[in-house]
Amino acid sequence: MIIIGHNFPLRQRLLKCLSTIVLLAGVPLSLHAESEGLVKSQSITNSLISSATAADQLTAADAFADSGDAQNAIKSYRYIARSSPKSAEAPAAQFGLAKQLKQSGSFDAAFKEYQTLLQKYPQTKNFEEAVADQIDIANAYLKGMKVKFLGIPLASSMEKSEEMYAAILKVSPYSKHAPVTQFNLGLAKEKQGKAQEAIAAYQKVLDKYPNSSACATASYQIGYVYQRLGMTGKSQDLSALKESQNNYQDFLLQYPNSEKVPQAGLNMKSMVSKESADTLRVARFYDFNKEFKASSIYYNDVIRRFPQSEDATVAKTRLDELKALYGEDALRTGQERPETGERLAERRRLQAQVESSALANYDGPPRKEIVGEEVPLPRPEMKGNMRDANPIPLQEPPVQNPNQKTPLAP
């Protein structure tokens, strides 16, 4: 007995009943009469139905799907999609095929059939639903679903999810789900350790979909990726920490109501703590090697940049000890003997006289008498040990006029 719900239209109920009868009896059937004002579809052949139009077969396939007979539904949908790709029923059959494969757990096959639908029938009414189903499949791989080979689950694959997200964006770059897809593409790259590619993918969310709700999360994630580069990278890249802080600040300014605001604040505090600790560690390294001028530079840097931190207190205490032991002159950077205005004027006067003594018609005292024996600077001593090389002291560059194309002379 076939039970038909009362909410089905009479004509649809008759079609489902007749389709079932055909399946049992194998009798040819044509249901679309020209008297009904419909265009008769070309008759095709199906092993499940002896002879029927594409519309009739689609009705039968829908009946299989509604009854839970996924195997016969898949066969019927596939036959219609393959044998009548230009028929009016083809897009619905293609969508039904992909949907049944997904519900049956054949995710790879379902994804490919959805991709075929989006490529061949971009005007289908099921376009956005198909994209959403594709994202669900890619998300399952992103969450760790195993890739199967000959039906056997093997290793999880972030690469698989990355490929799927890229494929979705290729055929539906302006879908309403595109911003989420672009963000998830960045997440797939991030999980594989492709930090710079992940940052570029997140940035594309901000650039291409600026009004999307995914922008806040993408902005936060850029700061987070830079933070991980700086705090867990092998090189402990301090420049990455600076980039992270800049991006977190942008995030806090642009998305102050985001749920990730408290976490961004905590992340920034942890980075400041690490940066001050790293700078103090460098200062102690030079201190241990008795490079006191270099160590004083970094001690002062900690005090200047992180004045409220415990590291700043430690740095100030040690700097005071060094001054007491060796004096401030031993820690001063730059010229050993600062040149006064009087000494500078005298040096320029002597230089002018020396230049004059080189003229052919010069008739004055010898050059030796002008310069003297002790005026020339001694030749620099060559450094033979890497520890003898000191870092260049940090100096603030002079203020430059915006219209000036070349930097000011020091």
Sign of dihedral through CA atoms 76, 79, 82, 85? negative
pLDDT at 220 (0 to 100):
96
Sign of dihedral through CA atoms 313, 316, 319, 321? negative
The verdict on residue 91 lying in a domain is: yes
The verdict on residue 130 lying in a domain is: no
Q: What is the per-residue pLDDT across 244-271, written as a single tens digit (0 to 9) for each?
A: 999 999 999 999 999 999 999 999 888 8
CB neighbour burial string for 109-125, b if at least 16 within 10 angstroms, e if fewer: ebbebbbbbbeebeebe
Range of the domain at 81: 1-31+41-104
The verdict on residue 92 lying in a domain is: yes
CA–CA gap between residue 194 and residue 157 (Å, rounded): 14
DSSP tag of 260: T
The verdict on residue 326 lying in a domain is: no
Closest CA to 206 of 194, 225, 221: 221
Q: What is the mean pLDDT of residues 100-127?
A: 95
The verdict on residue 354 lying in a domain is: no
Q: What is the per-residue pLDDT across 168-194, written as a single tens digit (0 to 9) for each?
A: 999 999 999 999 999 999 999 999 999
The verdict on residue 111 lying in a domain is: no
Q: Per the structure, how many domains does the chain have?
A: 1
Name which residue leads in pLDDT, 97 or 2.
97
Q: What is the per-residue pLDDT across 24-34, written as a single tens digit (0 to 9) for each?
A: 334 333 333 33
Enter the pTM of the model: 0.63
Name which residue leads in pLDDT, 154 or 82.
82
> Does the structure show a pLDDT above 50 at 152?
yes
The verdict on residue 299 lying in a domain is: no
CA–CA gap between residue 403 and residue 410 (Å, rounded): 18
Q: Output the average pLDDT for the chain.
A: 76
pLDDT at 85 (0 to 100):
93
CA–CA gap between residue 217 and residue 211 (Å, rounded): 13
The verdict on residue 63 lying in a domain is: yes
User: Which residue's structure tokens are 């689609």?
Assistant: 58
Give me 297's structure tokens. Answer: 């530079």
